Amino acid sequence: MTRLMSLAAIGMLTCTIEIFPTACGSTPDSPSQTSSSNAPAPTEIDGKVADRTGRPLSGVTVTIVDGPLAGTSKTTNDDGAFQLTATTSGSVTVHLTKDGFDGKDWATVWVPRSRAYAQNVYLDTVDPSIAFNPGNYVLTVSMDLSTATDADPQAPCAGFPADLAQRTYDVSVTRTPNSDLNSFDVHAEGPTVVNPPSGVTFQLGIAGRFIALEGPTDGYELTETLPGSRVLAIGGSTFKTNRGAVTDGSTIVIPFDAVYDYCQVKPGQFSNTDCSWFSPDQIVERHYCASGSAVMMFALRAPDANRRRR
């Protein structure tokens, strides 16, 4: 009797030791032990397509070239964005096409969805870009006051000083360093010009005949402090116009949608270069104009033309 109980105890111990932590009578391969973590993890490719000015490109066809999803296509939205999804991993080649632009094969990798991020892809125009060489230029910026409208009802365009509708500056143009864009830095010179700490007044990006403007963080390409406690800030965008620039070899004319913000403040109240920062009781007058027919014209400056322009 004692011997039989001992053998039974040994058998129970053996079962416990050999198949722990699985309970006696069950098997590790039973369906109840299968984890859903073995399912393929979702992956994706997020991209944003732009031209060499950084302007988003809609309607770009994005097609997977190789791998199990070869032939799958998506189209970029108004922001130039697209997303490809899968449950695969590794490298993949994607082909991008749009009328007016060179096709491009883009090598990338599938990224786990939890770590996906938007990758920038740039397309080059079929037509060669306007030649804009670094150097010294005379820049003339103008708007047609007769067609300008109110940009802010609280600061009507009517009454804007006519002599400030056209401004002329000496500027130097250099290529933007370390940029994937066809980009140039413009530095305006002169005692009234207010440049940001970087020294770059604004930037130009060129793709074919399209030239985009990009200002500093305050949104204005050009800001001046003028005698009599006055401020003039000129800003705008070419993204809204899609009008091509024109050149004759020595001058480049860029149409753009402009805003002209002008104010005069009371004596002793001048403490900023942004009209919107002054309170109404500090301002003598303010005019804020919008123009859909403004123009920037760059003309090569003669080597001996060193005088400051206004």
* 275 has a pLDDT exceeding 60: yes
Is residue 162 domain-shared with residue 250, that is, in the same domain?
yes
Distances (CA, A) of 2 to 11, 244, 308, 310: 14, 103, 115, 115
* 4 has a pLDDT exceeding 80: no
Is residue 211 domain-shared with residue 101, that is, in the same domain?
no
The answer as to whether 177 is a domain residue is yes
Tokens of 57: 């490109």
Q: Which domain holds residue 206?
A: 135-300
pLDDT at 164: 97
Contacts of 277 (CB under 8 A, 6+ apart): none
Q: Among residues 72, 98, 122, which one ends one of the domains? A: 122
Is residue 225 domain-shared with residue 281, that is, in the same domain?
yes
Is residue 144 domain-shared with residue 63, that is, in the same domain?
no
Q: Write the pLDDT tens digit of every residue in 182-207.
A: 999 999 999 999 988 888 999 999 99
pLDDT at 217: 55
Q: Are 254 and 236 in contact (CB under 8 A)?
A: no
The answer as to whether 128 is a domain residue is no
Q: Would you call 141 helix, strand, or coil by DSSP?
A: strand
The answer as to whether 2 is a domain residue is no
Q: Are 197 and 188 in contact (CB under 8 A)?
A: no
Is residue 80 domain-shared with residue 151, that is, in the same domain?
no
Residue listed under structure tokens 């198949």: 19
Is residue 189 domain-shared with residue 287, that is, in the same domain?
yes
Is residue 51 domain-shared with residue 144, that is, in the same domain?
no
The answer as to whether 6 is a domain residue is no
Task: Give the span between the Cα atoms of 85 and 46, in whole angstroms.
Answer: 9
Is residue 116 domain-shared with residue 224, that is, in the same domain?
no
Q: Are 259 and 235 in contact (CB under 8 A)?
A: yes
pLDDT band at 74 (very low <50, low <70, confident <90, very high): very high
The alpha carbon of 174 is separated from its chain's Cα centroid by a whole number of angstroms, namely: 20
pLDDT at 36: 53
Q: Among residues 97, 122, 147, which one ends one of the domains? A: 122
pLDDT at 12: 43
Is residue 76 domain-shared with residue 148, that is, in the same domain?
no
* 290 has a pLDDT exceeding 70: yes
Q: Are 102 and 126 in contact (CB under 8 A)?
A: yes
Report the range out of 14-28, 75-89, 238-252 with the highest average pLDDT: 75-89
Task: Give the span between the Cα atoms of 261 and 286, in whole angstroms.
Answer: 8
Q: Are 103 and 60 in contact (CB under 8 A)?
A: no
Q: Write the pLDDT tens digit of every residue in 6-61.
A: 444 444 444 443 434 444 444 445 444 445 567 788 999 999 999 999 889 999 99
Tokens of 140: 């003339």
pLDDT at 272: 80
pLDDT band at 269 (very low <50, low <70, confident <90, very high): confident
The answer as to whether 15 is a domain residue is no
The answer as to whether 27 is a domain residue is no
Q: Pick 137 or 250 by higher pLDDT.
A: 137
pLDDT band at 78 (very low <50, low <70, confident <90, very high): very high
The answer as to whether 165 is a domain residue is yes
Q: Would you call 186 helix, strand, or coil by DSSP?
A: strand
Burial (0-12, 13-18, 19+ Cβ within 10 Å), 309: middle
The answer as to whether 12 is a domain residue is no
Q: What is the mean pLDDT of residues 85-95?
A: 95
Distances (CA, A) of 83 to 65, 72, 115, 120: 15, 11, 14, 12
* 247 has a pLDDT exceeding 50: yes
Is residue 216 domain-shared with residue 249, that is, in the same domain?
yes
Q: Which amino acid does the sequence have at 15? A: C
Tokens of 187: 């530095």
* 273 has a pLDDT exceeding 80: yes
Task: Give the span between the Cα atoms of 173 and 186, in whole angstroms.
Answer: 5
Task: Give the span between the Cα atoms of 55 and 265, in whole angstroms.
Answer: 37
State the DSSP string of 251-274: EEEEEEEEEEEEEEE-TT----S-
Q: What is the mean pLDDT of residues 291-306?
A: 84
Residue 59: which CATH number?
2.60.40.10
Distances (CA, A) of 307 to 171, 191, 225: 11, 12, 19
Is residue 295 domain-shared with residue 188, that is, in the same domain?
yes
Q: Where are the beta strands (DSSP E) in 67-182?
A: 73-75, 81-86, 91-97, 104-109, 111-112, 118-122, 135-142, 149-150, 166-175
* 148 has a pLDDT exceeding 70: yes
Q: Among residues 66, 93, 122, which one ends one of the domains? A: 122
Q: How far apart are the first and last CA of the chain?
A: 117
Give the chain's domain count: 2
Is residue 272 domain-shared with residue 206, that is, in the same domain?
yes
